[in-house]
Amino acid sequence: MFVRLISALICVVVFCANLAFAWNVRSFSQDEDIRSALKLLDSIGADEVFENLQENSVKIIFYDLSLIQYSYCNHYAINSIDNWGDRYILINSKFRNATREELACLIAHESFHKAKRATMAEETLATQKEAYYWSILKVPGKRYSQTSLANRLDRLASLYSESTANNNLIERRIQNSKFYQSQLASSPSKRL
C-alpha cells in the first residue's frame, strides 16, 4: 500500500514538473496550426528554439509575403521587424496547409535569426537547425505532399547528414547560392 502511494505521488510530481516546464505556445502565436507546430517542438525538447523566440519576444503569423515585396512571394518564411520594433516570423501564407512538422522546421530556422542583419554564419546555423529538426520530426512512412517546402527540407536533411566537420555541405550550398549572396548583402531585417 505504501509503495503504491509513493509511486502515485512520484507520478503526480513528474506530471506537474512537465507542465511547469512546458512553453506557453499561446504567447508566440494565435494561429492553431502554428501552435500545433510549436507544441511539436516543445514535445521533443527544442528549448533552444523557444529560448530564441522568447529572447526576441517573437510573434509568429502566416502572411502574404508578396505584400512586403513581390519578389518575396516564393520565400518560405522571413524574420521581420515591424515599425514599432516588434519581431515577427512571417510564414508564407501559401504554406498554410503544410504539416506541423514542416511548419516546425520553418519556425526553428527563423528563430535562429537574431541579428538585425543576417550573416553567412547565422544563415548557415539557421539552415542547419532547420535540417536537424526535419531529420527528427519527419515521420517515417508518412506521405508528405511533394511541395517545394517538403522537397527543400528533404534536400537540406540529406546535406546535413552527409556533412562532416571539415565539409559542411549546407554552408557550401549557402555560400554558392546567388539567392543567399544577394540576401545577405541586402538591407537589415525586412519591415512589415
Whether 134 and 153 have beta carbons less than 8 Å apart is answered as yes
Q: Nine-digit cell at 62? A: 502566416
Query: Where are the alpha helices (H) located in 22-176, listed in sequence order?
Result: 32-43, 47-55, 100-111, 120-137, 148-162, 169-175
In tens digits, what is the pLDDT along the chain, a chain of 192 residues?
544 545 444 544 444 434 334 789 899 999 999 999 999 999 999 999 999 999 989 999 999 999 999 989 999 999 998 889 899 999 999 999 999 999 999 999 999 998 877 789 999 999 999 999 999 999 999 999 999 999 999 999 999 999 999 999 999 999 998 888 777 765 455 555
Structure letter (DSSP) for residue 188? S
Measured on CA atoms in the order 145, 146, 149, 154, is the torsion positive or negative?
Answer: positive
Distances from the Cα of 41 to the Cα of 22, 74, 105, 133, 151, angstroms = 11, 25, 9, 9, 21
pTM for this prediction: 0.83
The CA angle 136-137-141, to the nearest 5 degrees, is 105
Strand 87-92 versus strand 59-63 pairing type? parallel
